Amino acid sequence: MAGIFTKGVEADVWTVLFWRGALAAGMMWGYLSWRDGARAFTDCARLGWSGWAAATVGSLATICFIAAFKNTAVANVAIIYATVPFAAAAMAWFWMRERPGLATLVASALCLIGVAVMVSGSAGTPHLKGDMLAVGMTVLMALMMVIMRRYPERPMTLAVGPISCVQLVIVGWAMSDPWNVSLFEFVLLAGFGLIHATAIILLAEGVKRIKAAEAGLLGALEMPLVPIWGWLILSEIPGMPTIGGGAIVLATLCWYLSLSVVVSAQPKRV
């Protein structure tokens, strides 16, 4: 729903980041306080360089994410973001030596082809800027996931949750006048912040228990829904390059997921 919230308001990128960050930070601090008690605040001392790196990379990804929605169709952002598991797999192999299988390599190549087809349709149009921002967001999100996977002993829920949100609040306040919004837009931005907080909590808790590529793959399941919401609520009709590239990416994800289901269903040898 991120694209719907972002495009549903007239507020600029920095104002959206401020209110989204402020509301999300409040909810996540509440969750961590309920889960960890006083340790939710003392854990700041345990972030280390990896925790601060994950927070900062996540903040940069969010800036690209919101800006991308303001500059291109929601379907384009969703399709490009769907390739994050394969970017995460490449980074995890380079950094952690988590060797991807043949299926992951094939799926990565197919997804790159799909994104190339879609971006080619934006060449020479204002949408190209948004598409490139979405590419940057995807790379940064993959890096954040790998950092979280590499250092699970750090309080990553704190890092990519409230710490990242506070960073965005500071930047948003410095770059805009966040108080210049209508009551209607404030309600939308508040809803955006609360939904974002819920997603980050689930992501941070889940990525510690599975591989970075798998975490990204599960997150990519949102892709089929985003163009539908964009069409129903924003009346955005994807162009043929977006439909063609999206079909390649979606078919690849379905094939890759079906392989994962078959492998997980097989009995383990003792």
Model confidence over 22-77: pLDDT tens digits?
Answer: 988 888 888 878 877 877 778 888 888 999 999 999 999 999 999 999 988 888 88
Residue 87 domain-assigned (yes or no): yes
Residue 147 domain-assigned (yes or no): yes
Residue 125 domain-assigned (yes or no): yes
Residue 238 domain-assigned (yes or no): yes
Q: Which domain holds residue 42?
A: 2-265
Average pLDDT over residues 74-88: 82
Buried b / exposed e along 32-43 (16+ C-beta atoms within 10 A) = beeeeeeebeeb
Question: Cα(7)–Cα(49) distance, rounded to whole angstroms?
Answer: 35
Residue 208 domain-assigned (yes or no): yes
Residue 216 domain-assigned (yes or no): yes
Read off the pTM: 0.79
91: alpha, beta or left? (left if phi > 0; alpha if psi -120 to 50): alpha
The total domain count for the chain is: 1
Tell me the residue length of the chain. Answer: 270
pLDDT in tens, 54-69: 999 999 999 999 999 9
| 156-to-12, 54, 136, 168, 200 alpha-carbon distances in Å | 29, 8, 22, 17, 10
Residue 270 domain-assigned (yes or no): no
Question: Cα(125)–Cα(178) distance, rounded to whole angstroms?
Answer: 30
At residue 74, the pLDDT reads 85
Residue 151 domain-assigned (yes or no): yes
